[in-house]
Structure 1
Amino acid sequence: MKPTVVIGGGIVGLFTAYFLQQQGEEVIVVDKGDMKENCSTGNAGMIVPSHIVPLASPGMIAKGISWMFSSKSPFYIQPRLDKRLIDWCLQFYRHSNAKHVAQSIPYLKGISLYSKQLYMDFVATHGNEAIKLQDRGLLMLYKTREGEKEEAELAHLARESGLNAEILSKDDIRKLEPNQEVDVRGGVYFPDDAHLSPKDLYRILKNHLKEHGVQLKSNVGITGVEKAGSKITAVITSQGKIDCSHVMVCAGSWSGEIAKMLGFRLPMMGGKGYSFELTNTPELKQASILTEARVSQSPYGDKVRFGGTMEISNRIDMINMRRVQGIFESIKAYYPEFQADFPSQDKIWKGMRPCSPDGLPYIGKAPGWENVAFGAGHSMMGVSLAPATGKLLADLKTGKIGTLKTDAFAVGRYAGKL
């Protein structure tokens, strides 16, 4: 029996390999990087069933335009003559409306809750000490009247969709953060959200896969495929040919390049984000998002990770220190007593989040191919949705049909549109 090849060794690819291996499949994971530091290891580690509104939503266009004029803003598109970027922006604009949000909510809610349950199952099997999952919910903190209105509307939308959401006063927030002054107008608390250590999760998954016979091949580029009719029979790599029975493409921001190799369009842009860890003093206890700044904060005992920005750019390796400065300045704006020193450049993580133009991931069979599937385009929710994506792809390989609705995630939904 030939193996299944998983292209992409990020958290989505590893969970895909994990569930395939559980089903008795032989699996080879190949990745163009070193599988040490990537988009899966330095993010906020949030598991967020509350995030039911896609990135493409009403108001994002106006906010994006205003943010474009600030070097420290949460969102930036590097201007350049690039047909892929122009096409992506046009599709993003077309989907930034209330109808698209309403249609997307049931899908995002369903896959998010499924993923949260799979995380709880993972902890029950492997223990929680390693990945440090903290099932304490998420605070959305706001400082302005506009922020209050926006978050209250999202809380109402969440409740209408069957999710738990609590609007909190400044005094309520003080009870959740007893060690800190929190300079906010109020917040919304989503008790069903959680967070974990993404770096530790990534390490545990890699070790588990190796121990159970999954081959992990790093620094391997994909140069082509061999095919017979509508099936791929081998993947051609920079280190030779790998015969295969199936191919699962979980290559993050580079999944669009693989799709192009297979003859169809998969609109995808890399949205660069930055994060850094600081000593947690005075101790923050509650994971939160600083809404006006679009900055996340995830505490892990004596350390806390701050992260943010969405920079649509082709400057993959460059760290824009002005944008990091924007993240850093938001800390004192929301937590005036927090003792923070600006991190040195070698302590700053950067990663390219894979963004689809409608804010929904691509999960399912590749158009025109019998034995190829994709799991990509999760934007800022890669860690949150990774277990569900991996399980859906593994079930697709074995022919198992579940009850979760996934047609909104169709891989070929743009194949003839751009």
Structure 2
Amino acid sequence: MSKVLIIGAGIMGLSTAYYLQKKGYQVTIIDKGEIRDNCSLGNAGMIVPSHFVPLASPGMITQGIRWMFDSKSPFYVRPSLNMELIKWGLKFMKHANQQHVSNSAIPLRDLSLLSKKLYQELASEEDFKFELSNHGILAYYKTEKAAEEEAHLAAKGRELGLDMAVLDAAACRSIQPKLDMDVLGAVHYRCDSHLYPAKLISALSKYLESNGVEICRGEEVQRIEKENGKISAVYTDKRLWKADQYVLATGSWSPAIAKLAGLQISIMPGKGYSFMEPEAEERLTIPALLCEARVAITPMNGSLRFGGTMELDRINDRVNLQRVKGIVESVPKYFPELQPAMPEPGKVWFGFRPSSPDGLPYIGRSKGLNNLVIATGHGMMGLSLGPATGYLLSQLIGEERMEMDISMFSPDR
């Protein structure tokens, strides 16, 4: 039986382990932390075929510069002499054009639709109850400029075969009658879904450990040995690991682990924040995106999760309460009766989205090491794209016919 060692126990690592275990591989997962603190847990739980436009797109540079001067804005780049950030930024600027957006649309759509299909299959299994809901997502806007941008996005989405509809304010109110709103309208991304991340991660972990997959927590990779174009051994702070195939799925920590193997992966950690509040009245039942504010609101487990911001900086444990305040203050501007309280610092979750400079994930083999596959760089769509990435990696490891073309996602691009 072929042995696979997966480094990283986030949604990418767990999903890859799930599909490999189904195919009969002997799988071990190692992670430096606890599964409960990974980036998959605190996000908005959205499955988003609607997101076929990469972060590196026209207008993002100009918009990003404007946002940098507002302490409560959705986007921030911490000024520093960080050479990795400078290199990342130059690559981002190179890709922020319409041609890149056009080239990326179909691969991102196909990856998302595959993931949604796999989530549906997973939710039909007895042991996987994670509040999967298929009522779509509503992207609300307050300005004519945002309305025009969203209408253009919806038209493009329909060209790609995605179910998206432009709604006026009256139609928005008819869908969410309990929710008082002050908006011009919304685009209903009917192609989207959402789930409760904590239940998903718990169900996956429980299933894997009940079916022969060893998950070793608190093991930090310290050294990687290579021989004849292959990884021959991985050393953690506790022991030595050997396998036939290796998977690198360590999110924003991937560049450091890749460096141990002599590889370079361009990723910047994009810190995001979220917090939850009980919502007994169930006024908001369909996830909301607040377009101008770049804030997400998702109903989960009898509560609402509020999330947003993108801070590009080194990995750190600082909680920027001004950014959280920006989330809090934006909500009543769209929904006057929804007035979340400013959470205590200890109640604020934060995680680091692994952001590639072109806005596309890294999925595939590296030419440098022929027994290593890579799954990282998914940015804000990690949870959304987890099952598809894991499934494709299982096909790659098994040298099977691939479900889709993944050349756009090559780690060596």
TM-score (norm 1): 0.97
Partners of 2:231 and 2:402 in 1: how far apart? 25
**How many angstroms apart in 2 are the aligned matches of 1:412 and 1:236?**
25
CA deviation after TM superposition for structure 1 residue 226, in Å: 2.4
Tell me, yes or no, if the aligned pair for 1:132 and 1:197 is still in contact at 8 Å: yes
Q: Does residue 47 in structure 1 map to residue 47 in structure 2?
A: yes
Partners of 1:263 and 1:99 in 2: how far apart?
32
Identify the residue that residue 212 of structure 2 maps to in structure 1: 213
Judge conservation of contact 2:44–2:298 (CA < 8 Å) in 1: yes
- Identity, in percent, stands at 44
Structure 1 residues 235-259: Cα deviation after superposition (integer angstroms, max 9, x where no partner): 1111110111110000000111122
Please tell me whether the aligned partners of residues 363 and 389 of structure 1 are also in contact (alpha carbons under 8 angstroms): yes
1:315 CA drift (Å): 5.0
2:125 partner SS: helix
Using the TM superposition, name which of 252-261 and 344-353 deviates more.
252-261
Counterpart of 1:113, as a letter, is: L
Asked if the contact 1:282–1:338 (Cα under 8 Å) also holds between the matched residues in 2, the reply is no
Partners of 2:295 and 2:167 in 1: CA distance: 19
Is the 8 Å Cα contact of residues 224 and 261 (structure 1) preserved in structure 2? yes
Structure 2 counterpart of 1:244: 243
Does the alignment pair 1:355 with 2:338? no
Q: Which position in structure 2 is the counterpart of 1:111?
A: 111
Distance 1:386 1:133 in 2: 15
Match of 2:124 in 1: 124
Contact 2:296-2:307 at 8 Å conserved across structures:
yes
Q: Which letter does structure 1 place at the counterpart of 2:62?
A: A
Mapped to 2, the partners of 1:27 and 1:356 lie a distance apart of 27
Alignment check: 8 A CA contact 1:362 1:376 kept: yes
Aligned-pair CA distance for 1:121: 0.6
- Partner SS for 2:14: helix
| Shift, 1:2, TM fit | 5.7
Aligned match of 2:299: 299
Amino acid of the structure 1 residue aligned with 2:58: P
- CA–CA distance in structure 2, aligned partners of residues 291 and 323 of structure 1: 16
Deviations 1:29-80 (CA, angstroms, capped at 9, x unpaired): 0111122222010100000011000000011001100000000000000010
Aligned to 2:165: 166
Shift of 1:290: 0.3
C-alpha separation in 1, matches of 2:226 and 2:359? 32
- Counterpart CA distance in 1 for 2:154 and 2:267 is 29
Give the aligned partner of residue 34 of structure 2. 34
1:127–1:209 distance in 2 versus 1, CA, 3 Å: closer
Matched letter for residue 203 of structure 1: S
Equivalent residue, structure 2, for 1:416? none
Deviation per CA, 1:351-394: give whole Å up to 9, x if none: 00000000000000012211100000000000000000000111
C-alpha displacement of 1:111 = 0.5
Q: Deviations over 1:182-204 (max 9, x none)?
A: 11111100111000000110011
Give the letter aligned to residue 30 of structure 2: V
Amino acid in the other structure paired with 2:169? K
Equivalent position SS for 1:40: coil
Q: Tell me how far apart the structure 1 counterparts of residues 348 and 320 of structure 2 sit (CA, whole Å).
A: 10
Deviation at 1:10, TM superposition (A): 0.4
Question: CA-to-partner distance for each residue in 1:135-158, whole Å, 9 max, x for gaps?
Answer: 110111001111111111111111
Give the structure 1 partner of residue 322 of structure 2: 322
Unaligned runs of 5+ in 1: 414-418
User: In the aligned structure 1, how far is the partner of 2:270 from the partner of 2:301?
Assistant: 29
> What is the distance in 2 between the residues matched to 1:243 and 1:281?
50
Distance in 1 (CA, whole Å) between partners of 2:323 and 2:257 is: 30
Return the alpha-carbon distance in structure 2 between the equivalents of residues 240 and 127 of structure 1: 32
- Aligned residue number for residue 398 of structure 1: 398
Q: What secondary structure sits across from 1:126 in the alignment?
A: coil
CA contact (8 A) 1:281 1:338 kept: no
Q: Which residue of 2 aligns with 1:412?
A: 412
Contact 1:264 1:367 in 2 (8 A): no
2: CA distance, partners of 1:59 / 1:52:
16
Runs of 5+ in structure 2 lacking a partner? none
- Secondary structure in structure 2 of the residue aligned to 1:155: helix
TM-score (norm 2): 0.98
Deviations 1:150-181 (A, max 9, x none): 11111111111111110000000001111111
Q: Which residue of 2 aligns with 1:25?
A: 25
Q: Is contact 2:167-2:187 (8 Å) kept?
A: yes
Say whether 1:199 aligns with 2:198: yes
1:309-388, aligned counterparts within 5 Å? Answer: 309-388=309-388
The separation in 2 between residues aligned to 1:342 and 1:380, in whole angstroms, is 23
Shift of 1:343: 1.4
Q: What's the secondary structure of 1:13's corresponding residue? A: helix
Q: In 1, are the aligned partners of 2:328 and 2:339 still within 8 Å (CA)? A: no
Which residue of structure 1 lines up, in the alignment, with residue 102 of structure 2? 102
In 2, Cα distance between equivalents of 1:240 and 1:300:
39
Quote the residue 1:155 is aligned against: 154
**Aligned-residue CA RMSD (Å):** 1.2
What is the Cα deviation at residue 341 of structure 1?
2.0
